[in-house]
Structure 1
């Protein structure tokens, strides 16, 4: 009898212990790593990716680690270290990191990977890309209209606009394709100056290239260069000219010198990956595209510039941008894509 009672008690204790262990495991924070091909503080792409995960940390209580570097050799090492440390979710926030995840995802089947700006076919990878060509179409149209507003201080009579990118990679070529098309849609005679800095982490180079374009007659230059882009914006302020921001709302960095910013909701993308994992909705072998129609890309409302220019603010630009946005949504305007940017798996 005593033996039976002891056995029952032992089984009960073991059951309670297992239940307690399960509860602890269930309450264990999701470990999430963000791998960057650059640094935080760019007020652009990287900061946007981080902001999405800060929201996830607030909403879901995740444990977050961010690894930053501009050195390509570090990107792979950072990815492998987090995967080996058995992080639950690893997000690669750039095309370059996407290629590394494609290379290594199969070696870590229990890790869920999120890819931003790349399409990777693997059962444990969820990919999110953007129709940045659509957002850039709107930016190019705005620039082409703005360069004719000679009543605004600094705007010359030449129909020349500029564009400065970080590295010459497919996703930036997709930006450029849309920008050129948008400008030419407004005025086929507009000249578009193009430069690549070769880096996303060199604001001095960005400033140098923007200044060179201003010297060639451009009065407005689009920044598509992460940290390098900080120099582009600074050049516009220094010369008393104008720029277009990228990824996040950069209009207020130098009020009155940034016409608008092309928003790219990287924060929504990183948050989505974590939310999908938490809600058991994560699906590998999938690519989600975010464009104008879904609110994934678009322009700011130009309210900062409107306040700075007062009566000189060209309201017709806002009217036209609204019209073009609706035409893209409806399919009336087909924005060209850079064929080298992979959109599917």
Structure 2
């Protein structure tokens, strides 16, 4: 009798363990990998993607792994290693990683891929692109307005502004098209100096190119170069000139020398990808565009510069930018796009 009771209890415990296994599996944290074409610490695009996933980690309890490298060969091996490890979601944060996802997503049909800054159509890929041309339109307008204020120390009497990018790729050309249009919208005679560093990971090169533009008469230069762009900001600070930041709010890195930053909400994009998987709303073959109307791009409120300049701060810039923002939202102003940048 005792043996039967013991056997019955043992069987009950065994059954309960098997019943509990699916529940335990269901409670396992979602595994997310962030594959970067560069490094964290850029105070720009990469850091913004990471910030979004840090928020997702707090909200959803995800398990996060970050893979960094500036070597293109590593980008592919990093992506493949995470896919082979059956991560639930792999976020490719850059146009370069998007190309690798396009190449390999079909080999891992059970793995979900999230792409930022590239449009990849595949059953297991959801993409988010930005209307960076719209945000850059505002940045170009702000620069063209700022360069006319000769009463501000470091601003000369020339109608010349600058722009320094990382690699010459379609997404940066999209930035540049908008920047030029915004500047010309304010003043058709303004001259825009343009330089590409050829890399997103060389601050010294960014500084060198920016100093050269200052020598050619620019007094404000926009940074669109990730870690290379830290050299753009440093050059503005050292020369007593001005810069425009990008992606994250970079205004306070050198207070009084960064007029504004063009916010590109990569953090919202990376967070949304996790949220969609978590809530089972992730859809393959889907491309989402974030622009001014959706809050995906825009400028900072310039409060840091306003505090630094005090009474010399040109309030007309803020008023004009607010008006232009509404005009783009309403469709009154149509911002040109670079035809080589795939949006859908």
TM-score by length of 1: 0.97
Aligned to 2:92: 92
SS at match of 1:280: coil
SS at match of 1:206: helix
Whether 2:132 is the aligned partner of 1:132: answer yes
Aligned to 1:248: 248
Q: Distance in 2 between matches of 1:13 and 1:42?
A: 53
Q: Distance in 2 between matches of 1:264 and 1:18?
A: 48
1:6 offset after TM fit, Å?
9.6
Q: Distance in 2 between matches of 1:10 and 1:309?
A: 77
Aligned to 1:264: 264
Whether 2:342 is the aligned partner of 1:342: answer yes
SS at match of 1:341: coil
Tell me which stretches of 4 or more aligned residues in structure 1 moved more than 2 Å. Answer: 1-15
Aligned to 2:105: 105
Aligned to 2:313: 313
SS at match of 1:90: strand
Q: Distance in 2 between matches of 1:317 and 1:12?
A: 74
Within 5 Å, give how 1:269-284 maps onto structure 2: 269-284=269-284
1:16 offset after TM fit, Å?
1.8
Aligned to 1:143: 143
Taking a change above 3 Å as real, the CA distance of residues 212 and 104 of structure 1, as seen in their structure-2 partners, is same
Q: Distance in 2 between matches of 1:247 and 1:219?
A: 21
Q: Distance in 2 between matches of 1:224 and 1:17?
A: 55
Cα offsets for 1:55-84 (capped at 9, x unmatched):
011111111100000010000000001111
Cα offsets for 1:128-186 (capped at 9, x unmatched):
00000000000000000000000000100100000000000000000000000000000
Aligned to 1:42: 42
1:95 offset after TM fit, Å?
0.2
SS at match of 1:105: helix
Aligned to 2:225: 225
Cα offsets for 1:102-145 (capped at 9, x unmatched):
00001111111000000001111010000000000000000000
Taking a change above 3 Å as real, the CA distance of residues 4 and 288 of structure 1, as seen in their structure-2 partners, is farther
1:20 offset after TM fit, Å?
1.0
Cα offsets for 1:256-285 (capped at 9, x unmatched):
000000000000000001111111111111
Alignment size in residue pairs = 344
**Comparing 3-12 with 268-277, which one deviates more in the overlay?**
3-12
Whether 2:19 is the aligned partner of 1:19: answer yes
SS at match of 2:284: coil
Q: Distance in 2 between matches of 1:98 and 1:3?
A: 63
Q: Distance in 2 between matches of 1:132 and 1:15?
A: 56
Cα offsets for 1:194-214 (capped at 9, x unmatched):
000000000000000000000
TM-score by length of 2: 0.97
Cα offsets for 1:282-330 (capped at 9, x unmatched):
1111001000000000000000000000010000000000000000000
Whether 2:205 is the aligned partner of 1:205: answer yes
Within 5 Å, give how 1:61-72 maps onto structure 2: 61-72=61-72
Q: Distance in 2 between matches of 1:21 and 1:46?
A: 37
**Comparing 55-64 with 9-18, which one deviates more in the overlay?**
9-18
Whether 2:130 is the aligned partner of 1:114: answer no
Q: Distance in 1 between matches of 2:225 and 2:21?
A: 48
Within 5 Å, give how 1:321-340 maps onto structure 2: 321-340=321-340
Q: Distance in 2 between matches of 1:60 and 1:27?
A: 11
Q: Distance in 1 between matches of 2:34 and 2:120?
A: 17
